[in-house]
Structure 1
Amino acid sequence: MITWLTAFLDSPADVWDVSRRFWTGVTGYGLSAARGEHGDFQTLIPPGGDGFLRVQRLHDGGPRVHLDLHVADVRAAAEAAVALGAREVAASGHVVMSSPGGLPFCFVREGERRRPAPARWTTPDGRDHASLVDQVALDVPAAAWDAEVAFWVALTGWEMTSSAPGSEFAPLRRPADQPLRLLPHRLGEPTGPVRAHLDLASTDRAAETDRHVALGAGVEQVRDAWTVLVAPDARRYCITDRDPVSGVRPQA
């Protein structure tokens, strides 16, 4: 059983400082002391609850998001994932895996349990709103869609919620104590590796977007229920109209 889900923001060295500064500004969280032989790992620490976002400095490759799945028995979880179609990449105190479609993830020991509350913000004109990074969208090319969705449903044990026929989304129902939802998203491209991006839920998308732009993000696209932005570290992510506590749109 997955007891906690962590998202890692992996950044190349040339945008490492920019990335950490931006994401602490977005979340309002602090940073832990650096960990690892070269100080490449840190946790974003919320003012209440347990950490579920971490940053890693990469020494090759571009910015990406990978998942850490916290479990009681790392080795048993890895073997079960392999049986479901994953590939084991490396092992030490944790196990590095790759999903059937190529998304990197790790099994790590359990510990965290308390989901943080949304952060609250006040606009310059005095309006209050709340936001929270609460979702990892799994961006899946069409050829990998069926296998990848089936894998994550089986691995997590999370129920896939209903969506409109032919929808590009297959949301998994987040257990109440988990900090992050998983949202498989079918891409228009036919092939390629599965990757991931972060989504924020916000009670005022326009105000939240303005806040991010002031922190250095750029708006790429505005849709009916979400806005696509590009962070200063070149990472794409979205701000959505979903409720930061429940994770669903108010009218749903």
Structure 2
Amino acid sequence: MEVAWAWAFLDLPPDGFDEELEFWRQVTRTTLSAWRGEQGEFATLLPDEGHPWLKVQRVGGPGGVHLDLAVAAPLPQARDEVLALGATVLDELDDLVVCRSPAGFTFCLTPSAPSEPGQGQVRAGQSSLLDQVCLDIPADRYVAELAFWMRLTGWLPPSPEPDDSGLLPLKRPDGMPLRLLTQRLGAGGAGGTRDTGATVASERHGGSVTAHVDLACADRAATTREHEALGARVESVHEGWTVLRAPGGRRYCVTERDPLTGVRG
């Protein structure tokens, strides 16, 4: 399946909605589009230049992160392909197919627009960039879930196995705004699992995949201070990444990666 564009959705709950929305708007240096949807629940975070890749949604539950994949194929064909790969279809509208991966992660298929990816994502000169969704996958479901995302997107990892921290990225095509990072929860080794509270969250959701967002930053310490000044708090510091909580409690990471390329130098 050809993925023309990938969108990260921040699903924000009612409690602390305005504060958390403003936090994400500021750390991503974006402006908010007009609200849309039947209940005015969707909006896009618009960068100064280039095509956007981040959206927000008002939700009634605890909130989280999900992906929208804009696909080149007609939606009925794309739906049949994800079903054949082991996904479940939860809902189907004229311009949207809501799916669940084999290990329980919610994502949507949408038709690609003519501007995807024509305007591109402007990465050059950014001090930090929200550019990654990390899928936190229970260890006993990791192999099958990794295979699902590889087959769905066609994006391949640089190595066959995660590193000592349980992390394995999928290489995105040139011009794609988002990276996908997979994390095998409960990984051993010198690094241990990247601690974002994912293991606890996974257990709470019956062993399903959860997700969090990561920012690439040129100066992790400076980015962390900036986020703290905007209301985030540091939860833990590791070699190569810092785990923070946004206002409202959402965990995310700032990581030592080049905002231009998305990879560690």
Asked if Structure 1 and Structure 2 have the same fold, meaning a TM-score greater than 0.5 normalized by the shorter chain, the answer is yes
Deviation of 1:164 after TM superposition, in Å, equals 6.0
Separation in structure 1 between the aligned mates of residue 82 and residue 259 of structure 2, nearest angstrom: 30
The letter of the residue matching 2:235 is E
Partner of 1:116: 121
What are structure 2's unaligned runs of at least 5 residues?
187-198
Of 142, 145, 148, 2:142 maps to: 145
Separation in structure 1 between the aligned mates of residue 238 and residue 254 of structure 2, nearest angstrom: 10
CA contact (8 A) 1:10 1:56 kept: yes
- Aligned-partner SS, 1:78: helix
1:8/1:165 Cα in 2 relative to 1: closer, same or farther (>3 Å)?
closer
Deviation of 1:118 after TM superposition, in Å, equals 3.5
Counterparts of 1:149-160 in structure 2, within 5 Å, are 149-160=146-157
1:8/1:146 Cα in 2 relative to 1: closer, same or farther (>3 Å)?
same
- Aligned-partner SS, 2:253: strand
CA contact (8 A) 1:86 1:100 kept: yes
Partner of 1:22: 23
What are structure 1's unaligned runs of at least 5 residues?
121-128
1:6 correspondence with 2:7: yes
Q: Deviations over 1:174-209 (max 9, x none)?
A: 111100000010112586110111000011000000
1:227 correspondence with 2:242: yes
Partner of 1:123: none
Q: Number of residues paired by the alignment?
A: 241
Partner of 1:170: 168
Separation in structure 2 between the aligned mates of residue 141 and residue 75 of structure 1, nearest angstrom: 30
Partner of 1:125: none
1:119/1:12 Cα in 2 relative to 1: closer, same or farther (>3 Å)?
farther
TM-score, normalisation: structure 2: 0.87
- Aligned-partner SS, 2:263: coil
Instruction: Name the % identity.
Output: 49
Partner of 1:135: 132
- Aligned-partner SS, 2:131: strand
Alignment RMSD (CA, Å): 1.6
- Aligned-partner SS, 1:36: coil
CA contact (8 A) 1:119 1:131 kept: no
CA contact (8 A) 1:34 1:41 kept: yes
1:215/1:78 Cα in 2 relative to 1: closer, same or farther (>3 Å)?
same
Deviation of 1:144 after TM superposition, in Å, equals 1.1
Separation in structure 2 between the aligned mates of residue 209 and residue 118 of structure 1, nearest angstrom: 19
Separation in structure 2 between the aligned mates of residue 167 and residue 21 of structure 1, nearest angstrom: 32
Q: Deviations over 1:127-182 (max 9, x none)?
A: xx711011100000111101110000000001111256655012100111100000
Of 220, 223, 226, 1:208 maps to: 223
